[in-house]
Each structure stands twice: as structure tokens, then as C-alpha cells.
Structure 1
Amino acid sequence: MTLQQLKYIIEIVNCGSINEAAKRLFITQPSLSNAVKELETEIGFDLFLRTPKGITLSVDGAEFLGYARQVVEQAGLLEQRYLSKKPSRQLCSISTQHYAFAVNAFVNLIRESGSDEYEFTLRETRTHEIIEDVKNLRSEIGILYKNPFNRKVIEKLLRENRLVFHPLFTAKPHIFVSSQNPLADRPFVTLEDLQDYPYLSFEQGEYNSFYFSEEILSTVYRKKSIHVSDRATLFNLLIGLNGYTISTGIVSADLNGDNIKSVPLKVEDEIQVGWIANHQIQLSMQAGAYIRELKAVIQLYGLTLTE
């Protein structure tokens, strides 16, 4: 087992395919495949499950990857300290529902990284894809929410995929509206107040289940409903159509300006936001730093962290 083989495995996981990893590593695909097979023969188990749709880590492979990342990180620190080599290229990948605080923390992570070279990835994506990304280790961390409606379904999926949910905070539901919306200055709103306004939500693709909705109260009937795929479009439509969406109440003026207001929604519900990770994997230093930045940002918004 060599350090180069460990780097190969990490790159394959980051890319999601052997072909793409071979291109990034500037070696041929057969050479990379042979290196993986030699390592699998040496350790006595398959690191990857090969299917017509591609490759995914095996259960043993996921555990192996955690150790491989630690070894490669420590080797980089040794080289930097004793061989006067520049710091290795920093890597970190996060998948998240569409939360401004997750982006704030990501910005802070990059600013504080102090690295001349890095390759960080932030995927604002669908709920099911977040779980798949973390399951297959395309991302080290996923950020999503649970509430009384979706809890059993989400927790079942996490158990089946060997993922653990770590609570960050619990929030009362709010709506986001344009600052020009007639509801913007209300102390709170009810569902009845909203019935004539367009409702905006993030579409969930082929996994369009009520349980995967990013917005609570997904089963409530709306006369006017619009599905979007990204946060910028949603905010533009909030302004252009006087629509609303439901979220945690955290809106970032730094990222979104002063055009969006948060108003409490008077319902008996709550939103518990947390991060998920593979329980067999020790987080990289960059992922650990992201969690710390995430907690710091949440506290800046005046929310209490869940211990």
C-alpha cells in the first residue's frame, strides 16, 4: 500500500468516476484501474461496487477512505513542515439545502483557509441528492432539516445509508417575502393571510415526495404554486410576483440585500436543521473547520446551538 494509491482512491471518490479521475491525475484509465485492483487485492476486499451506472464505495471502502484521507493529510503536513514544501491543495465538498447561513459559513471557510491552492465545492441541491452525495462520499457533509412531518422518513433513510444527523439549531417557521409585499411589516402571518399570494418552493426532481420538500407544510393546498431550482431565481420571483416561501427565518443581507424580509408564520411546527455525515468517516480538517464556521454564523444570527 502506497501513499500514491491512497491519493488515487481519494481522487476517484472526489470525481465520482475512474475515467474523470484519470484525466485529473494525468494517467491512463487502465493504469488507474490496475492500481485500484492491486490495492484491493492487497487489502483483501473491494473498495468500489461496479455497476452499469458507474462506481460507488463499498461499506468497507467508505471506512477505508476515512483512514486514507487522514494519512494523506498528515503526510502533507509532514512534507510542509520538514521538506519545506508548500501546503497541499485543500479539498472540501459540502451539499446543502438552500440556506443562506450555509453559504455564509462557506465564504468564511475559504477566507480563513490561508491556502494558495484549494478546490472547494458547495452544492445547493435537492434533499435526496444531499443524502446520496454524503452516502457516496461525493460530499463529506450534508445540511438539511427534520420536522415532525418528515422525521421518520428522513431518519429511516439516514439509518439505511449509515449516516448520522447532528443537530445545529431549531427554528420557528417564517416566510420570506419582498420588502414591498403588504405582509412584510406584519408581526406575524397565518396560512389564511397567504392564500392569495404565489407560493414558491424548490423542486425535488424525480424524488418529488412531500417528505423531501425543503419547505414545511408541503401538503397544504395552494391556489398559486411555483417550483424553482435555485435560490437566486426564487428570490427574484419573490420580488417580481409578490410571492412567498417558508424557511427558518435566517436571511442574509450581505448575500441577498435588503429586498427580502422574514416574517414569523403562526403555525404549530418547528424546523430542526443539522448536518449529516457517514458515521464511519472521520471528517477532514477542512470539513471540521466548516462545521465551526457554520456554528459561528448561526450564533451571529442570534440562534441557540443544539448541544
Structure 2
Amino acid sequence: MDLKQLQYFIACAQTGSFSDAAKILYSTQPSVSKVIKSLEDNLGMQLFERLPRGIRLTVQGQKVYHYACKITNEVELLENMSSSGMTKWLRISFNPSSWFADQFVEFYNETYDKNYHFQLTTAGVRNIMERVRDYLDDIGFVYILSHQKENFLYELAKNKLQFEAFYETDVMLYPGKLTELLSEDRSELLLNDLKEMRFIQNYQDEFFDLGAAQDDSFQWKDLDIAVLTNSDYVMEKMLRNSRLSNVSGSYLSEDKKGATPGMPLDIDGNKVIFGAVTHKGEIPDCSVGEFIEFLRSRLPKS
């Protein structure tokens, strides 16, 4: 077994096709198939199911994929280390959040002399879980609704991950500046108030509807989501200049709060929980721990 086989294997797993993998590997479909067959022979197991259209990982292939991602990422870190000395890379994924972005800027400035290097990725909850699982990131930061927590923890356990909650806050509605709500004297809103509204959300994530056991409980799909974006800059522009609204936690940046005052939203007693996803049983690197402690110090006191 060699590194080339693992790289070819990962490309095939991610594209679901030998021919598509060949394109990104600058190779040919027969060559890719030959490499994968050689890897399967070396391991003594079938890694892919050959389908009429494309390929799919077998159960054993899924396990090998996780290890292969870890190995190739560690090799990449070693190559970076050899080319740039003892440069420390910290790989972070997070749900789009102006508050998080503000904290990262301050952390970078405070640790400038330590010569940390960073890779930042914004993503939805499930994607963050998968990135940490596959060692693409060292840590992931997510926001989940409290009624999703049990299902979320179950998903994490299956993938040998863990979740550490840092902060719990109210679910808030941030109405766009052109909505009628801002002209009304309202201190709290109910779900029925949302039926005639349109929304801009960072992600329509799979976890938003997990754990909704009652027919009349909150369902994310019930909202009329007109715009999906992974850009908080776009979010803030739309809230300042349109009738679109946003549902999230009361953790938004001062810029976004200035654009549109938040209103508490009663969603079956739900709270928004902010926390970190890491590998279960693994001790985080000192730089990861340093960033966690920094974030903790910047969160509002419960």
C-alpha cells in the first residue's frame, strides 16, 4: 500500500465515479480502476460497490475512508512542516457567524507572535461533523437547537465524536428593516407570526428538523426560506435593506444587531446551544485548547 493508492481511493470516494476521479487526478479511468483494484487486493476487501452509474463505498470501504483521510492529512501536515519549519496550522470549521468571525480576528491579533497559521471553513452542522470525523479539521463549532441535542449526540457517537457545550441562548427573530414588525410594539413573537414572513438563513441544515416529535412542534421546513447563504456579509446587507428576516441565536455581532433589533421567539421552549465538535478520547493540541479558552472568555456570562 502506498500514498498514491490512498489519494486515488479518497478521490473516488468523494466523486462517486472512477471517471470523475480520473479528471481531478489528471489520470485515466482505466488507470484509476487499476489502482483501486490493487488497493483492494492489498487490503483483502472490497472497497466499492460497482453500480450501473458510478460507485459507492461498502461498509468496510467507509471505515477505510476515515483512516485514509487521516493518513493523507497527516502527511500533508508533515510536508507543510518540512517546507515551512515548525509552522503550526489550526484547522477550524464553523457555522457562519459574525460573532465568531469577530472573535477569530481578535484571537489572531493576540497570538500573532506565535506564528499560528489557520484554515477556516464555514459549513452546516452535518458537514462540520463529517469534516472533523475525516480529520479535515481539528475542531468544529456549531449552533444547534436544544430539542435536537439528543439526536445530534447520537450522530456524533456513531462517528466517534463528542460535543462540548459552551453557551445557551434564546432563539431570536431578526426582522429585516423593511418589515412591518419593526413598526409594531412587540416584545415577543410566536410561531404563527412567522407564517407570512420570508427568511434569509445561513444553512437549511439537516439537523434543524431532528427531534421534532410532535406534529405541532417547530419544523424548519415550515419557514419560507427565500435566501440561503454562507455569507454573514450578505445576511447583514439583506437585513438592512430588505423585508427578509432571520432566525438564530442572540449571539449575533453588534453590526447585525445594529441592523435589526432581535426579538425573543417562543419555539416550544427551545434554546440555541453553541459548542465544539472534536474527536472522542483525543487530547486537543495546545493551540486548539488555547482558542477554546479564548472563546469561553468572550462569551456572555450565563
Amino acid at match of 1:37: K
Cα distance in 2 for partners of 1:69, 1:221 equals 38
In the TM superposition, what is the alpha-carbon distance from 1:61 to its structure 2 partner?
0.9
1:175 corresponds to 2:173: yes
Answer whether contact 2:199 2:226 (CA < 8 A) is retained.
yes
Is the alpha carbon distance of 1:261 and 1:204 closer, same or farther for their aligned partners in structure 2, counting shifts above 3 Å?
closer
Is the alpha carbon distance of 1:299 and 1:70 closer, same or farther for their aligned partners in structure 2, counting shifts above 3 Å?
same
Partner of 1:68: 71
1:195 is aligned, of 173, 193, 196, to 193
Answer whether contact 2:173 2:262 (CA < 8 A) is retained.
yes
Is the alpha carbon distance of 1:274 and 1:54 closer, same or farther for their aligned partners in structure 2, counting shifts above 3 Å?
farther
Partner of 2:151: 153
Partner of 2:121: 122
- The structure where helix makes up a greater share of residues is 2
Cα distance in 1 for partners of 2:289, 2:21 equals 27
Answer whether contact 1:45 1:60 (CA < 8 A) is retained.
no
Answer whether contact 1:130 1:142 (CA < 8 A) is retained.
yes
In the TM superposition, what is the alpha-carbon distance from 1:272 to its structure 2 partner?
1.8
In the TM superposition, what is the alpha-carbon distance from 1:42 to its structure 2 partner?
1.4
Cα distance in 2 for partners of 1:221, 1:41 equals 46
Identical aligned residues as a percent: 17
Cα distance in 1 for partners of 2:34, 2:301 equals 51
What do the CA deviations read for 1:158-214 (whole angstroms, capped 9, x no partner)?
44x525241242222133345788988x9x93125993883626497796973389x
Cα distance in 1 for partners of 2:248, 2:143 equals 10
Partner of 1:247: 248
Partner of 1:41: 41
In the TM superposition, what is the alpha-carbon distance from 1:262 to its structure 2 partner?
4.2
Aligned residue pairs, count: 285
Cα distance in 2 for partners of 1:198, 1:226 equals 9
Give the structure-1-normalised TM-score: 0.61
Cα distance in 2 for partners of 1:302, 1:252 equals 12
SS in 1 for 2:31: helix
Q: Quote the RMSD (CA, aligned, Å).
A: 5.3
Amino acid at match of 2:252: V
Amino acid at match of 2:27: I
Give the structure-2-normalised TM-score: 0.62
Amino acid at match of 1:162: N
SS in 2 for 1:45: coil
Cα distance in 2 for partners of 1:135, 1:54 equals 24
Cα distance in 2 for partners of 1:12, 1:110 equals 36
Answer whether contact 1:101 1:297 (CA < 8 A) is retained.
no
Cα distance in 2 for partners of 1:5, 1:14 equals 14
